[in-house]
Amino acid sequence: MKVIEELKEMSDERFLEIYTALENQGYGPLDGEVARALKFRPHAIKKLPMVQRAKRARLLLERGANAELCYELFGGYLMKERRALVTDFLDATGVAHEDGMLENTAESKPDSAKLSEAITQLDASYDAADVTLYLSMCAEQWPQVPEIESLWRLRGR
């Protein structure tokens, strides 16, 4: 559950940035779950400030250790806001994809010999927090490539 570990290390401000980036028509990405937890009607959740909704969403993810939902949240953020980071990593490590979407998740995996160089290139081009976030997802996605998790853990979160 690397994405949950990443979430627990993340600042409240960073989580709010991710949560807000995924806002759609005034709703945050997990506002439905937040509304249920607070026993609100779904449309009434918009009355709460986004910072409160994000804080509650984070608690739901952490307490429930919901790695799948956390993975979807982080993946949605990266694909919406940092797609080039994702595609650059996949291209640099030889993973077949279509604009960041994996073509064959069972067979496609990063070439471990290309990982260090790929991460160096990402760090030169993108915010380190986004690179680290993506590496946590990659470690979750490809447990059969232990070098990814090692490189992620070395980042000194």
**pLDDT tens track for 99-119:** 999 877 778 899 999 999 999
Q: Are residues 89 and 142 in the same domain?
A: yes
Q: Are residues 40 and 90 in the same domain?
A: no
Asked whether the beta carbons of 34 and 57 are under 8 A apart, the reply is yes
| Per-residue model confidence (pLDDT) at position 106 | 72
Q: What is the mean pLDDT of residues 137-145?
A: 93
| Per-residue model confidence (pLDDT) at position 43 | 84
Domain assignment of residue 3, yes or no: no
Pair of tokens at residue 51:
């910072």
Q: Which domain holds residue 57?
A: 10-66
Q: Into how many domains does the chain fold?
A: 2
Domain assignment of residue 107, yes or no: yes
Element (H, E) at 98: strand 97-98
Q: Are residues 88 and 135 in the same domain?
A: yes
Q: Are residues 14 and 59 in the same domain?
A: yes
| Per-residue model confidence (pLDDT) at position 49 | 93
Under DSSP, the state recorded for 101 is E
Q: Are residues 45 and 101 in the same domain?
A: no
Q: Are residues 59 and 86 in the same domain?
A: no
Domain assignment of residue 72, yes or no: no
| pTM score | 0.90
| Per-residue model confidence (pLDDT) at position 9 | 93
Q: Are residues 87 and 148 in the same domain?
A: yes
**pLDDT tens track for 1-40:** 799 999 999 999 999 999 999 999 889 999 998 998 889 8
Q: Are residues 95 and 148 in the same domain?
A: yes
Task: Say whether pLDDT at 157 is over 70.
Answer: no
**pLDDT tens track for 47-88:** 899 999 999 999 999 987 788 899 999 999 999 999 999 999
Domain assignment of residue 88, yes or no: yes
Q: Collapsing DSSP states into helix, strand and coil, what is residue 57?
A: helix
Pair of tokens at residue 56:
């509650």
